């Protein structure tokens, strides 16, 4: 099957599905194509981008999460269990703004969110093969 974007003489655009490219020509010359909006039979193919498909390479999610962990560890300060406290201090301007990471309980992350403090919870995977 092939899909074409079609246009009538009144500039109404719609799509049509055909068995092959010759199918469009056959139906057009037989007068079988009509605009679903106005019924016009003056139909042309509208310009359209080709559909290009590629299979995406399979990436192990753990590989992505390990790379994310390395980036966080390289670019942020580990504040450990003081994460919620330090996030508040940064948010309220009590200390310098900087990237931090650490540990927080679900209750602490919910409280930060309730206060309008934006954080991201990242699955922390081991860096080794485990």
Structure-token pair, residue 96: 């310098």
Q: Give pLDDT tens digits for 25-72.
A: 899 999 899 988 998 999 998 876 666 677 777 888 888 899 999 999
Is residue 17 helix, strand or coil?
Answer: strand
Residue 18 pLDDT more than 70? yes
Residue 20 pLDDT more than 90? no
Return the percentage of the chain with pLDDT > 70, whole number. 93
Which segments of 12-60 does DSSP mark as H helices, in order?
A: 21-29
Q: What is the pTM of this model?
A: 0.54
Which residue is it, tokens 């899909």?
3
- Rg, the chain, Cα only: 29
Q: Under a CB-based contact definition with an 8 Å cutoff, are residues 18 and 2 in contact?
A: yes
Which residues face 5 on adjacent strands?
Answer: 15
Q: Other CB atoms closer than 10 Å to residue 39's CB: what's the count?
A: 10
What pLDDT does residue 51 have?
Answer: 65
């Amino acid at each position: 099957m092939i899909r074409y974007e079609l246009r009538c003489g009144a500039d109404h655009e719609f799509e049509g599905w055909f068995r092959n490219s010759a199918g469009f020509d056959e139906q057009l010359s037989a007068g079988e194509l009509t605009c679903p909006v106005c019924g016009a039979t003056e139909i042309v193919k509208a310009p359209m981008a080709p559909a290009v498909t590629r299979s995406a390479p399979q990436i192990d999610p753990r590989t992505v999460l390990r790379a994310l962990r390395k980036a966080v560890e390289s670019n942020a300060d580990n504040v450990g269990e003081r994460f919620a406290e330090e996030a508040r201090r940064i948010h309220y301007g009590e200390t310098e703004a900087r990237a931090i990471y650490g540990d927080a309980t679900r209750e602490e992350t919910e409280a930060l969110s309730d206060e309008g403090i934006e954080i991201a919870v990242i699955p922390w995977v081991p860096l080794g093969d485990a």
